[in-house]
Chain A
Amino acid sequence: MVVWTDFERATIQDIFSKIDYGVVGQAAISRCLIVYPWTQRYFGSFGNLYNAAAITSNPKVAAHGKVVMEGLEKAVKNLENIKATFAELSTLHSEKLQVDPDNFKLLGDCLTIVVAAQLGKNFTPEVHAAFQKFLAVVVSSLRRQYY
């Protein structure tokens, strides 16, 4: 069972209240597709992903970024039970999308870097630790239904 300190709970909610889902989602997914190009294998229907400029300006990438952030918001609103909240999403990623779960960490790292750029000095080591703990729980919940 995940135990959140008051600081962690407040920090995670604060971060998500401050960031623009469209901007951060688009930036995180683009970064993931650029820095870890093999992740492009899951987005064959997105059209032009041939170079960084194409990825950054791709409207389907941007739209999907927002979808991912809205999914994460569900976890923020259900911090006490992320596992149950994401059970269906986990099955979706495993059975329908067939995403290698190692990729969750890659996207998580890119999201951390994007949020870090947004918050700058306010992304202190303690805030950073809380955010990565949140992402670790999300990733673990998304991996749960894989077999």
Chain B
Amino acid sequence: MYKSPQTLSRSGQLQTKEAITMTSLSAKDKTTVKAFWAKVAGREEDIGCEAISRMLTVYPQTKTYFSHWKDLSPGSAPVRKHGGVVMAAGTDAVSKMDELVGGLLSLSELHAFTLRVDPANFKVLAHNVLVVLSTMFPNDFTPEVHVAMDKFLAAVARALSEKYR
């Protein structure tokens, strides 16, 4: 899942990054993600706020990207606001699931050239999103939903890394 973008297919032909990104999410994964996302609709800001709060607390090295915020404590105003922004982008990604690389192009450029976030941190935030979903929706966040969401967030991370180099 986190290997280099080009791999050999069974026939020995090189597959493009795009092909891998697009074929990695099965039809079932997409339906599962869409259904679960619809269930959590309305709580996006809470989820985003919690995920970022946890990321800053459990992985303090991520604070280095937010030195311009006045308050980095869990649930603070800038954390909540940014949580909303990130989750709105997530909702957008869900709607563009069939073409994540094209759909997230400008976001990728933002992360690559302006924010310059080390892409390893995408995995870190994704893990924290999954933990939050688990605390808030313990009965709905089944292992099947977990694997589909993990794959989706990994696909989003790959699309965001597209313009880095």
Contact = CB atoms under 8 A, between A and B. Distances in A.
Nearest to A51: B144
Contact of B58 (A114, A120, A129): A129
A34 B147 contact: yes
Contacts, number: 57
A126 interface: yes
A132 interface: yes
Contacts of A121: 135
A113 B131 CA distance: 5
A117 B138 CA distance: 5
A128 B143 contact: no
Nearest to B149: A35
A116 interface: yes
State which size class the interface on B falls in: 20 to 34
A56 B147 CA distance: 14
A117 B141 contact: yes
23 contacts: A30-B143, A34-B146, A35-B143, A35-B146, A35-B147, A52-B144, A112-B131, A113-B130, A113-B131, A113-B134, A114-B134, A117-B141, A119-B135, A120-B136, A121-B135, A123-B135, A124-B74, A125-B50, A125-B57, A126-B57, A128-B58, A128-B131, A129-B58
Most A C-beta atoms less than 10 A away, residue of B50, B132, B143, B144:
B143
A67 to B, nearest CB: 20
Interface string A93-134: 000000000000000010011101111110111101100100
Contact of B146 (A55, A113, A120): A113
Which DSSP category, helix, strand, loop or mixed, fits chain A's interface?
A: helix
A128 B138 contact: no
Contacts of B50: 125
Which DSSP category, helix, strand, loop or mixed, fits chain B's interface?
A: helix
B100 to A, nearest CB: 20
B74 A117 contact: no
B54 interface: yes
Contacts of B150: 35
State which size class the interface on A falls in: 20 to 34
B163 interface: no
Contacts of A118: 138
Nearest to A30: B143
A117 B135 CA distance: 5
A109 B153 CA distance: 15
A22 B56 CA distance: 32
B53 interface: yes
B127 interface: yes
A118 to B, nearest CB: 8
Nearest to A35: B147
A123 to B, nearest CB: 5
Given A113-B130, A116-B131, A125-B53, A34 B143 contact: yes
A18 to B, nearest CB: 15
